Structure 1
Amino acid sequence: MISEKSKEIIENYIKAYNAFDINTMVSLLHKEILFRNFSNGEINTETKGIQEFRELAEKSSKVFSSRCQTVMDYSVVDKKITVQIDYAAILAVDLPTGLKSGDKIQLKGKSVFEISEGKISLIEDYS
């Protein structure tokens, strides 16, 4: 069972993410935040610490004109909270993959969070 405090922290983070509010996102992170992004089972991005995370968040925010993570479900195993996510975004730039500015991306994925000392210390995104 997820604690109300942990749920509130995660929901505030997702709300800030959707609003491109990087300062609020970072304020919810532990100074030793570890972020990893997995796509098709492979890790393609990793940051350690708030500064690296902030740099990635700022760069990523320029890629999308809008983005929205919607929480579908929560589960907890040990100290890790898994959040099932529906994701939708509209690109602001052309990507090397062939996707163009204005294209809409929709996918289902999950994010795994760990909370330490009242802050998010781990985020792993899977799509």
Structure 2
Amino acid sequence: MGVVLATTEKEIQDAFSVRRTVFVDEQQVPEEEEIDQYEDDCAHFVLYNGTEPQGAGRFRFADGYGKVERICVLKETRGTGAGKAIMNKIEDYAKEQGAKKLKLNAQVHAIPFYAGLGYEVVSDEFLDAGIPHKTMVKSL
């Protein structure tokens, strides 16, 4: 498995495909909320197993932070280190872009995963697309 920075239309569509499967199909997030107005301002990442996209995420700058968003892995690939591989690639990219602090909005069930990568909870629980989240940050 390997994570790439999406540079072609096919790679970007592969990222969207994984996101639709996880967020829209699995978690019932409306597609118009999942694919949003920030897509063109983001660096997109795709995790491949051979030629098959298995995970995705995106990165952008917002409010003085590097913002990590839309981290997802297909059900059959969860628990294999895929999420950590995506996060490592995004964090390396963020450092190259000059980010000093990263922020993400974690689904509550995923907080232990992000905490294991060095992120700390900095907010109370809130709903995003009807799913409980907390904001987490990490200094690079």
TM-score w.r.t. the length of structure 1 is 0.29
Q: Which has the higher contact order (CA 8 A, sep 6+)?
A: 1
More strand by share: 1
TM value normalised by structure 2: 0.27
